[in-house]
Structure 1
Amino acid sequence: MSISASAAGQDSSHPQAPRAGVPRNPSFIQFTPKRAMASFENLVALANYEERLREARKIVWRDRGEKPVELHDLWECAEHAGRGGMRAGGLAFAIRAGVNLILLLTRIKRIPAKHRLALIRHAAFGEDSFRFATMLGSFVAIYKFVLNALPILLSPPSTSPTLPHHSPAHPRSSFHVTGPSESPFHEEEEDDLEMQPRRRPTRQARLSTSAQAHQVWVHKRTRRWYSVLAGSAAGAIAVCFEKKSRRVAIAQQMFVRGLQGSFNAFSEKHGVSIPHGDVLVFGLCCGQIMYAWLVRPETLDRGYDIWISTASKCLPETVAVARDFVQRGVFNVQDMQKLIARPDTTPANRATLLARIAQATAPPPAQSFGPGFVPCAALHPWNDSHVLTQVERFVDVFRWMLPIYGALHVIPMLLFRRKRVMRDPVNMLLRAGWGTARSSAFLGMFVFIYQSMFCVKHNLWDFLTDLRTSPSTSLLAYLARLLPQRVIDALIVKKSFYALGILTGLSLFVEEKKRREELAMYVMPKALESAWLMARGRGWVGRTGQWGEVLLTAVGMGMVMSTYQNDPQHLSGLVRRILYQFVGPN
């Protein structure tokens, strides 16, 4: 008993420490510290701020993969269209004002100080900015309202949620059920389905969830003519807010982009493939442009005419002599005298030009302006060699375009691919440098081909004509006499400049493949405008009056928006991204 009592006393006087592995629950109430509560409130405020920031960012930049909006009545359509139009108008105003300010800042040092503030105010808040904003804002608002209202006013064409090009046929069956016709103007009943041998489906690109939702919306709720009507109506009304001088350029670009998307969709649907079609289109357009540059320069835009003359590296007097020869068969003696007076004109070329002037200034019975083309002595008076002249011009054009194309390749890379540039700067800069060199070489090769063939065809005419009239008994002279004179004269007729322009299309092979189609789309509006003016001058087409630009814009925007709403992959990436930012899915 004493031992146990003493042991108990020891236990009571020296309590054992609790084991480390056994947790002990506190017997008091815990309170969250004020710092923790403040941190939690800060996190909530930060989350709300980031959410508001994302919502504000959507006003300026539309995130990729935005899903289409489901609308159920006309009031919702009007509200949706109004918000979209206001957003597009504000964005367009900011873009136009920003571009005007940037262009003004490039020349503001040459402007007197007392006029600078007024010009800055006009650049930011001038008529051009408001017109541009009204045009795009009205287009988006009208397009959104018409596109979303038509499925509500009219019965939807189909209620099937099946995506396009996805057949629900049984995988073991050798036949599949062909769905209704995809024509936007005809609707077939399910009873008309027919059994056809199963074909191997065309390979389709994988779409994201949001992209599939957009495809389902288009397939379920809209027909193709909905987007055609909406785009045509919106384009015709919106273009009227721009200045009349700018409507032609807008109408041309929209019409060409519509043709591009429609042809791409048609070629994929029917299996039509033209090898190097972009090069062919570029060559045909350049044929029209280069013909108009010498024969009918009034059918080209004045700024574009001046740019071609500058890029050709030809002297202004040379261009004037060439146009006089082609249009009237004579030349201005003063232009020839200016070429002779140049200090770098070679003695041989000076003698040739003096002989032509002597013939042109002779008395009427002996007066002659010579063959109806500009002599090579006037084309490159500083050099007697044709080959060295063309190589020199290639280098001059290459150096002239190098900084311009350098900016076009480097600036977008720094703006839109910053992460890739930071991750691999050397490789990205090398790619930009290689692209700049190819683009500069493309234009240099364009000038090289045109002017080389210009000299070749004229020298060939001289050579064949001399052989026909020479008393030589050589084989070449005999063959030249067999050729009719009209065949030889085909080398110097006006239509020969079409052939020269078409040959310049070969220069497009120097450019990167993904840029060829864009270059073809750049020259097509200018070629079509020139061809239209020539046809109208000959009475082949009638005048469209003051509504010609509006009609062309309506047709072009109908094609563009039909392709964008149903087959957006057939539009160029630039057009598709711009339309997505302004219009959105619907």
Structure 2
Amino acid sequence: MADHISSPVEPSPATPDETTPVTAQSLSSASSSQTITNDSTPTKPTTKSTHRSRKQQREDEKASWVNGKRPKGYLTPEGREAAEKCKNYKSGVSIPYLTHSCKTYEGVLKHAIFGAIRSFGVSYGAKALVNLCLGMLKVMKGKGSFLTNAKDAFTGVDALRFGSFFGMFSFLWKLVNNGLTLYRGTDDRINGAIAGAIAGLALFIEAPERRVTFAQQMFIRSMQGVYNAGKYRGQFSFRHGDAFLFAIGSAQVMYAYTMHPDTIPKEFFQFMVKTARVPAEALAMNRARVRGFPLDLKQVRAMVDRFNPTALTLETVANMSETVDALPCAGLHPWVDSCRETSIDRFVGVIKTIFPVYATLNFVPLVVLRMKRLLKDPVNVLSKTTFNTFRSSAFLAVFVAYYQTQICTHRNLLNAGWKLGNSKYLYWLFGLGSAIPAIMIEQESRRAELAFYVIPKAADSLYRILYRKNWVKGSFYQREEQVLSPFVTKMIYHILGKN
């Protein structure tokens, strides 16, 4: 993180006006105005001199403003720091031969074209390198060859679409924004809003299954902007609000993972099953018991037999009742008896599995986007990136291990005679309890990113669950078109047609 920018200094003692001659009398007056009281405390400057000092300070600050305009969010120290970081970053990313004057429409077009080329190159290169590194992990496990992996990474549709999306977005945004500025003679928010809306059409380049993800992220980023605008203006602020959002979102995601897996993306659910190392069949059996259905003991035995069960596991399954309160630990980790050992194994296993992934996600952007910084101070940058990679891996490992610990503790208390039941809402609380300590391990600057990754999935899952229970309604055009105005219905019908 960049060093924090200190807040403006306190007003200095008043100085004579530039138009006032400096005489012995004026110097004597200035000296006498700073007399010391009996308790050795300087007297407070006069209101007039304080006003002059603060006015001069504001004039000094204005010298660093862009185009004489005060940066947005300048009312708080956080706002000043953010504005300063943004100004410094923008001043360091301009590429002369890709930047053209936008004083003519021809210049606007050239600027948009070269900007699109740069955006395509950066995004395509970053995506291809990430795919290459992730593919190498499979090659190291004996799945595929290096040449095939490299070909798929650099010539596959995934990287080309990703780069084309950002290239087209950049082209449309620069073309419309600068074109409107030139046409209207002013650069304001209206230009940016129109340009952003039109540039969003570039989303059609992406695969249909990924458009929802992009749309969700863009929406939640816009909400982040609204929150930061109020925060930097001193209107409101919530300490650890990002951690709170992550915890709430994670609770809903873990509830969906255990009780409603069809409400989260299939690939995401498979990742969770692989990371948690709990058999998918065990999750299904536990869902059945939560909803009051008896267990099929033959299916339970067939499941544990596939995982090299221990003698205690086989004994537990043999003596198990089909109406047991909850699927016991023997069905969740049949290959080991100790719950403590299971939690430790989860922690170590997640570290080993996820560290290469986080290393790829941390080091590839470093090489692609921050090469100058890397070359300037390689030791510090590499050591910090490596530490952050371990930190992120530990965050996920703690989350998984602590969730498993809570599940096993619940089962052990049931075996001890505690009347806790097996409510489906316990799994929501377990998710909340796992997320809170885990997110505090992650660096503060990344907590918001993790929250914004989880919240859309949690919101989508919650909506699907509520819709299934008929607590919310779906598309009006699809189900209740009569509630829409005739004009809206006709417009949608002529543009989209029937579903």
1:292 to 241, 244, 256: 256
Match for residue 188 of structure 2? 223
Q: Aligned pair in 2 of structure 1 residues 354, 421: CA closer, same or farther (>3 Å)?
A: farther
Question: Are the counterparts in 2 of residues 324 and 332 from structure 1 also a CA contact under 8 Å?
Answer: no
Partner secondary structure for residue 510 of structure 1:
coil
Partner secondary structure for residue 233 of structure 2:
helix
Question: Are the counterparts in 2 of residues 536 and 543 from structure 1 also a CA contact under 8 Å?
Answer: no
- How far apart in 2 are the matches of 1:136 and 1:402? 28
- How far apart in 1 are the matches of 2:378 and 2:163? 39
- How far apart in 1 are the matches of 2:190 and 2:349? 51
- How far apart in 2 are the matches of 1:413 and 1:142? 27
Match for residue 197 of structure 2? 232
Which letter maps to 2:301? Q
Q: Aligned pair in 2 of structure 1 residues 223, 537: CA closer, same or farther (>3 Å)?
A: farther
Equivalent residues, number: 382
Deviation per CA, 1:547-566: give whole Å up to 9, x if none.
xxxxxxxxxxxxxxxxxxxx
Query: Is residue 272 from structure 1 mapped to residue 236 from structure 2 by the alignment?
Result: yes
**TM-score of the two chains, using structure 1 as the length reference:** 0.56
**TM-score of the two chains, using structure 2 as the length reference:** 0.64
Match for residue 520 of structure 1? 451
1:284 Cα deviation after fit: 0.8
Match for residue 446 of structure 1? 399
Matches within 5 A, 1:328-343: 329-341=293-305
Query: Is residue 529 from structure 1 mapped to residue 493 from structure 2 by the alignment?
Result: no
Partner secondary structure for residue 214 of structure 2:
helix
Q: Aligned pair in 2 of structure 1 residues 442, 247: CA closer, same or farther (>3 Å)?
A: same
- How far apart in 2 are the matches of 1:99 and 1:392? 28
2:216 to 252, 270, 273: 252
Q: Aligned pair in 2 of structure 1 residues 126, 391: CA closer, same or farther (>3 Å)?
A: closer
- How far apart in 2 are the matches of 1:127 and 1:414? 23
2:278 to 307, 314, 318: 314
Match for residue 173 of structure 2? 143
The structure showing larger relative contact order (alpha-carbon pairs under 8 Å, at least 6 residues apart) is 1
Match for residue 49 of structure 1? none
Match for residue 93 of structure 2? 64
1:139 Cα deviation after fit: 2.0
Q: Aligned pair in 2 of structure 1 residues 275, 450: CA closer, same or farther (>3 Å)?
A: same
Match for residue 30 of structure 1? none
Match for residue 543 of structure 1? 475
Match for residue 494 of structure 2? none
- How far apart in 2 are the matches of 1:382 and 1:400? 19
Q: Aligned pair in 2 of structure 1 residues 384, 121: CA closer, same or farther (>3 Å)?
A: closer
Match for residue 81 of structure 1? 112
Partner secondary structure for residue 358 of structure 2:
helix
Question: Are the counterparts in 1 of residues 119 and 163 from structure 2 also a CA contact under 8 Å?
Answer: yes
Q: Aligned pair in 2 of structure 1 residues 521, 145: CA closer, same or farther (>3 Å)?
A: same
Q: Which runs of 5+ in 1 are unaligned?
A: 1-60, 157-220, 361-368, 467-487, 547-586
Which letter maps to 1:222? D
Q: Aligned pair in 2 of structure 1 residues 107, 339: CA closer, same or farther (>3 Å)?
A: closer
1:417 Cα deviation after fit: 5.9
1:504 Cα deviation after fit: 1.6
Question: Are the counterparts in 1 of residues 250 and 454 from structure 2 also a CA contact under 8 Å?
Answer: yes
Which letter maps to 2:423? V
Matches within 5 A, 1:37-116: 64-65=93-94, 71-72=102-103, 74=105, 76-89=107-120, 92=123
Q: Aligned pair in 2 of structure 1 residues 270, 461: CA closer, same or farther (>3 Å)?
A: farther
Query: Is residue 380 from structure 1 mapped to residue 311 from structure 2 by the alignment?
Result: no
Structure showing greater radius of gyration is 1
1:503 Cα deviation after fit: 1.4
Question: Are the counterparts in 2 of residues 324 and 330 from structure 1 also a CA contact under 8 Å?
Answer: yes
Match for residue 302 of structure 1? 266
Matches within 5 A, 1:141-540: 141-154=171-184, 221-235=186-200, 237-327=201-291, 329-341=293-305, 345-356=309-320, 359-360=321-322, 369-371=323-325, 373-409=326-362, 416=370, 425=379, 430-461=383-414, 463=416, 465=418, 488-489=420-421, 492-506=422-436, 507-539=438-470, 540=472
Q: Aligned pair in 2 of structure 1 residues 339, 526: CA closer, same or farther (>3 Å)?
A: same
Which letter maps to 2:241? G
- How far apart in 2 are the matches of 1:429 and 1:130? 29
Q: Aligned pair in 2 of structure 1 residues 144, 405: CA closer, same or farther (>3 Å)?
A: closer
Question: Are the counterparts in 2 of residues 320 and 335 from structure 1 also a CA contact under 8 Å?
Answer: no
- How far apart in 2 are the matches of 1:81 and 1:146? 9
Question: Are the counterparts in 1 of residues 128 and 153 from structure 2 also a CA contact under 8 Å?
Answer: yes
Which letter maps to 1:440? S
1:233 Cα deviation after fit: 2.1
Which letter maps to 1:267? K
- How far apart in 1 are the matches of 2:182 and 2:381? 50
1:302 Cα deviation after fit: 1.3
Match for residue 496 of structure 2? none
Which letter maps to 2:324? G
- How far apart in 2 are the matches of 1:90 and 1:410? 18
- How far apart in 2 are the matches of 1:313 and 1:503? 19
Q: Aligned pair in 2 of structure 1 residues 103, 146: CA closer, same or farther (>3 Å)?
A: same
Question: Are the counterparts in 1 of residues 130 and 360 from structure 2 also a CA contact under 8 Å?
Answer: no
1:418 Cα deviation after fit: 7.4
- How far apart in 1 are the matches of 2:95 and 2:372? 23
Q: Aligned pair in 2 of structure 1 residues 322, 424: CA closer, same or farther (>3 Å)?
A: same
- How far apart in 2 are the matches of 1:433 and 1:97? 22
- How far apart in 2 are the matches of 1:545 and 1:306? 33
Question: Are the counterparts in 1 of residues 101 and 107 from structure 2 also a CA contact under 8 Å?
Answer: no
Question: Are the counterparts in 2 of residues 131 and 242 from structure 1 also a CA contact under 8 Å?
Answer: yes
Which letter maps to 2:196? G
Q: Identify which range, 124-133 or 514-523, moves more after superposition.
A: 124-133
Q: Which runs of 5+ in 2 are unaligned?
A: 1-89, 479-499
- How far apart in 1 are the matches of 2:115 and 2:449? 29
Deviation per CA, 1:219-275: give whole Å up to 9, x if none.
xx333233122212210x211222212212221222222222222222222432212
Question: Are the counterparts in 2 of residues 380 and 389 from structure 1 also a CA contact under 8 Å?
Answer: yes
1:291 Cα deviation after fit: 0.7
- How far apart in 1 are the matches of 2:373 and 2:183? 47
Question: Are the counterparts in 2 of residues 97 and 129 from structure 1 also a CA contact under 8 Å?
Answer: yes
Which letter maps to 1:252? Q
Q: Aligned pair in 2 of structure 1 residues 316, 299: CA closer, same or farther (>3 Å)?
A: closer
- How far apart in 1 are the matches of 2:384 and 2:118? 36
